[in-house]
């Protein structure tokens, strides 16, 4: 009996029009194109139009791998590297353009928790509905019902419509159903990125338990800590190809090494095409180290993150948030502009604005950091999310090391104010006791 769970050979997926998603057509367009096509062809014969419209991208190109039974494999890579496309193909949501994959045994995919949940239905009803969508048999759901409810910790609210649930309860219930899937191969996408820390811990624990049960798991995540602790193997995907395949610690380390091409500033010159929407668009984001250059920042260097943006609408309430992640993928801190001093979160008039955030020195530890920027308007509308807008490296400050040359422990490296006082003198008689 062979031990292979999944064997992929030359998997490739092409998307047309250079878009990640193909744009849908309308009947109207198709009809009008059919009628105008002869004229356009005539026109293009004179104009020598090139075939820009037919451009395509390979989201996945010639990816091959073998996955053994019981292996827990982590797929890492940047956004748009092809990870999600790979999962979608293996989950049979979309077909490959070329190549094939042989899947041995039953597969469940968990690309999102709570698929098909309906707000009007009760917790109990949603468990059955969601279970059926994930491919569970009704008997299986009934058999696991109490366990699912217990895992989600919603016993009291099981017959309440989920629209009255808190977001935490909702997530717990959604994950609980998925956690009780009985298939031999489990395909999991970034589901752990949601929920609070306690919930994440619970999910990771469950994943660990599942993998120890001998089932095969394919796991995509940006959480490199989770990949290293859960997986027995990691594949690093970039531009639709597998760059490296091996022991997770090594693959993650190599991934981080090349991923650290510093980005100290980004500028978008065109106010009609810059990231954003009709209300607000980004002009630039820049890292300004105080008193040194970008190459020589160390743990003592105070940093300024400067964001320039156009506001095109009178009285826009804007909130800029930054999330700073370290090389392990841990969010070191997040901060937003709500406490900013000049405008106090008041609506902005039309114009080009500059907002600066000051990161004090003696706070970040040495290492590589990625800054993501979120632009939020009107309190809760996400206008734009620029993931990894800035990437920079902070060098260890050797001077402060005090003879210690290893890496300083800890996520942050604050310079604490230490003090020592002599409280009282100790007499000779006391010392003799």
Partner 1 sequence: MEAKFAIKDQINFNSMRGADHIKVLRIEPSKGWVPLKVRELWEYRELVYFLIWRNVKVRYKQTALGASWAIIQPFMTMVVFSLFFGKLAKVPSDNVPYPIFSFAGLVPWTFFANSLDLASKSLIGSAQLITKVYFPRLVIPIATVLSGVVDFAVAFLVLLMMMLYYGTMDLSRMIWLPLFLLLELVTSLGVALWLSALSVEYHDVQYVTPFMVQFWLFATPIAYSSSMLSEPWRTLYGLNPMVGVVEGFRWALLNTHTGPGAVIIVSSLAALAILISGAFYFRRMERTFADVV
Computed on alpha carbons and rounded to an integer, the radius of gyration of the chain in Å comes to 27
> Which region, judged by CB under 8 A, interacts with partner 1, from 91-99, 165-173, 234-242, 362-370?
91-99
Query: Judged by CB, which is closer to partner 1: 55, or 106?
Result: 106
Our finding on whether 269 is near partner 1 (CB under 8 A) is: no
Our finding on whether 415 is near partner 1 (CB under 8 A) is: no
Among 21, 261, 293, 419, binds partner 1 (CB under 8 A): 21
Cα 71 to Cα 205: distance, rounded to the nearest angstrom: 17
> Which region, judged by CB under 8 A, interacts with partner 1, from 22-30, 32-40, 164-172, 414-422?
22-30
Among 74, 77, 82, 96, binds partner 1 (CB under 8 A): 96
Which of 186, 21, 7, 18 lies closest to 99 in space, CA to CA?
7
User: In the numeric block, which tokens belong to residue 380?
Assistant: 């809760």
Among 43, 102, 381, 382, binds partner 1 (CB under 8 A): 102
Query: From the CB of 76, what's the least distance to partner 1, in Å?
Result: 21
Query: Judged by CB, which is closer to partner 1: 133, or 267?
Result: 133
Query: Judged by CB, which is closer to partner 1: 220, or 348?
Result: 220
Our finding on whether 89 is near partner 1 (CB under 8 A) is: yes
Query: From the CB of 172, what's the least distance to partner 1, in Å?
Result: 19
Considering CB under 8 A, how many residues would be counted as binding partner 1?
Answer: 49
89-106 burial: b if 16+ Cβ within 10 Å, else e: bbbeeeebbebebebbee
Spell out, one character per residue from 179 to 198, where the chain touches partner 1: x when CB under 8 A holds, - when not. Answer: -----x--------------
Kindly list the distances between the CA atom of residue 250 and the CA atoms of 200, 211, 260, in Å, as whole numbers in the listed order. Answer: 25, 21, 16
> Which region, judged by CB under 8 A, interacts with partner 1, from 126-134, 242-250, 310-318, 346-354?
126-134
Query: Judged by CB, which is closer to partner 1: 148, or 389?
Result: 148
Cα 433 to Cα 431: distance, rounded to the nearest angstrom: 6
Query: Judged by CB, which is closer to partner 1: 185, or 373?
Result: 185
> Which region, judged by CB under 8 A, interacts with partner 1, from 111-119, 152-160, 198-206, 214-222?
111-119
Query: Judged by CB, which is closer to partner 1: 132, or 193?
Result: 132
Our finding on whether 22 is near partner 1 (CB under 8 A) is: yes
φ and ψ of 173, to 5 deg: -65, -45
Site for partner 1 in 25-84 (CB under 8 A): 25-28, 30
Query: From the CB of 275, what's the least distance to partner 1, in Å?
Result: 24
Cα 278 to Cα 294: distance, rounded to the nearest angstrom: 33
The answer to whether 313 and 279 have CB atoms below 8 angstroms apart is yes
Query: Judged by CB, which is closer to partner 1: 118, or 233?
Result: 118
Q: Own/partner pairs for 141-148, CB < 8 Å, 24+ apart?
A: 144/180, 147/180, 148/173, 148/176, 148/177, 148/179, 148/180
The answer to whether 147 and 182 have CB atoms below 8 angstroms apart is no
Our finding on whether 132 is near partner 1 (CB under 8 A) is: yes
Cα 251 to Cα 76: distance, rounded to the nearest angstrom: 9
Q: Running DSSP on this structure, what letter comes out for residue 122?
A: B
- Dihedral Cα 404, 409, 410, 414, nearest 10 deg: -10
Contacts of 327 (CB under 8 A, 6+ apart): 224, 256, 260, 367, 368, 369
Site for partner 1 in 141-160 (CB under 8 A): 143
**Residues in touch with partner 1 (CB under 8 A):** 1, 15, 21-22, 24-28, 30, 88-107, 109, 111-112, 115-116, 118, 120-121, 125, 128-129, 132-135, 137-138, 143, 184
């Amino acid at each position: 009996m062979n031990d292979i769970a999944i064997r992929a050979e030359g998997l490739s997926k092409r998307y047309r029009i250079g878009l990640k998603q193909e744009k849908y057509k309308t009947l109207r367009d198709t009809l009008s194109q059919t009628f105008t096509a002869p004229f356009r062809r005539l026109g293009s014969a004179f104009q020598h139009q090139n075939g820009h419209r037919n451009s395509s991208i390979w989201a996945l190109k010639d990816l091959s791998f073998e996955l053994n039974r019981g292996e827990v494999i982590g797929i890492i890579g940047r956004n748009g590297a092809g990870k999600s496309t790979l999962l979608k193909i293996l989950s049979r949501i979309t077909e490959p353009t070329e190549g094939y994959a042989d899947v041995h045994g039953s597969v469940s995919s968990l690309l999102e928790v709570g698929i098909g949940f309906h707000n009007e239905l009760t917790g109990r009803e949603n468990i059955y509905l969601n279970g059926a969508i994930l491919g569970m048999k009704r008997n299986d759901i009934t058999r696991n019902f109490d366990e699912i409810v217990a895992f989600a910790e919603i016993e009291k609210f099981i017959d309440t419509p989920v629209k009255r649930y808190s977001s935490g309860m909702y997530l717990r219930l959604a994950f609980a159903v998925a956690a009780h899937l009985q298939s031999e191969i489990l395909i999991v996408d970034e589901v752990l990125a949601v929920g609070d820390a306690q919930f994440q811990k619970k999910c990771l624990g469950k994943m660990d338990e599942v993998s120890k049960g001998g089932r095969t798991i394919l796991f995509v995540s940006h959480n490199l800590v989770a990949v290293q602790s859960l997986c027995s193997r990691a594949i690093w995907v970039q531009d639709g190809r597998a760059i490296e395949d091996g022991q997770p610690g090594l693959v993650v380390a190599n991934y981080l090494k090349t991923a650290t091409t510093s980005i100290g500033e980004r500028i978008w010159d065109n106010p009609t095409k810059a990231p954003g929407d009709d209300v607000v668009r980004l002009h630039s984001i820049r890292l300004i180290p105080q008193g040194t250059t970008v190459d020589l920042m160390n743990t003592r260097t105070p940093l300024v993150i400067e964001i320039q943006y156009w506001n095109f609408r009178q009285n826009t309430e804007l909130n800029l948030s930054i999330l700073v992640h370290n090389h392990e993928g841990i969010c070191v801190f997040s901060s937003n502009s709500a406490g900013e001093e000049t405008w106090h979160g008041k609506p902005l008039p039309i114009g080009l604005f500059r907002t600066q955030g000051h990161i004090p020195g003696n706070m970040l530890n040495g290492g590589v950091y990625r800054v993501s920027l979120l632009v939020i308007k009107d309190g809760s509308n996400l206008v734009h999310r620029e993931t990894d807008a800035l990437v920079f490296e902070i060098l260890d400050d050797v001077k402060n090391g005090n003879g210690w040359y290893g890496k300083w422990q800890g996520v942050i490296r604050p310079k604490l104010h230490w003090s020592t006082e002599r409280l009282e003198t100790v007499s000779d008689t006391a010392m003799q006791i």
